[in-house]
Amino acid sequence: MKEVLVLRDLECIKAIAHPRRIDILKTFNKSPLSAKQLSQLLDEPHAKINYHIKTLYKVGILELVEEKIKSGIVEKYYYPKAKHIVIGKNVIDFSLDDECDREELYISKFENISELFYQAAEEDGLENNNIIDYNNIYLNREELNELNETIESKLKEILSKKEKISEEAAYDLVILAVPLSKEEEYNI
Burial of 108 (0-12, 13-18, 19+ CB in 10 A): middle
Q: Within its chain, how far is the Cα of 4 from the centroid?
A: 6
pTM: 0.57
- Kindly tell me if the per-residue pLDDT of 63 is higher than 60: yes
Q: How many CB atoms lie within 10 A of CB 34?
A: 21
- Kindly tell me if the per-residue pLDDT of 155 is higher than 90: no
Compute, in degrees rounded to 10, the torsion defined by CA atoms 82, 84, 87, 90: -80
The contacts of residue 59 (CB under 8 Å, 6+ apart) are: 11, 12, 15, 16
Q: In this predicted structure, what is the pLDDT of residue 32?
A: 95
Bigger pLDDT: 141 vs 131: 141
Q: In this predicted structure, what is the pLDDT of residue 166?
A: 64
Residue (of 86, 114, 89, 127) closest to 4 by Cα position = 86
- Angle at the Cα of 89 from the Cα atoms of 138 and 3, rounded to 5 degrees: 85
- Kindly tell me if the per-residue pLDDT of 188 is higher than 60: no
Express each pLDDT in 163-179 by its tens digit.
Answer: 766 667 778 787 777 78
CA 42 to each of CA 9, 23, 48, 140, 179: distance values in angstroms, whole numbers, following the listed order: 28, 8, 11, 53, 43
Q: In this predicted structure, what is the pLDDT of residue 73?
A: 87
Partners of 67 in the beta sheet? 76
The contacts of residue 55 (CB under 8 Å, 6+ apart) are: 15, 18, 21
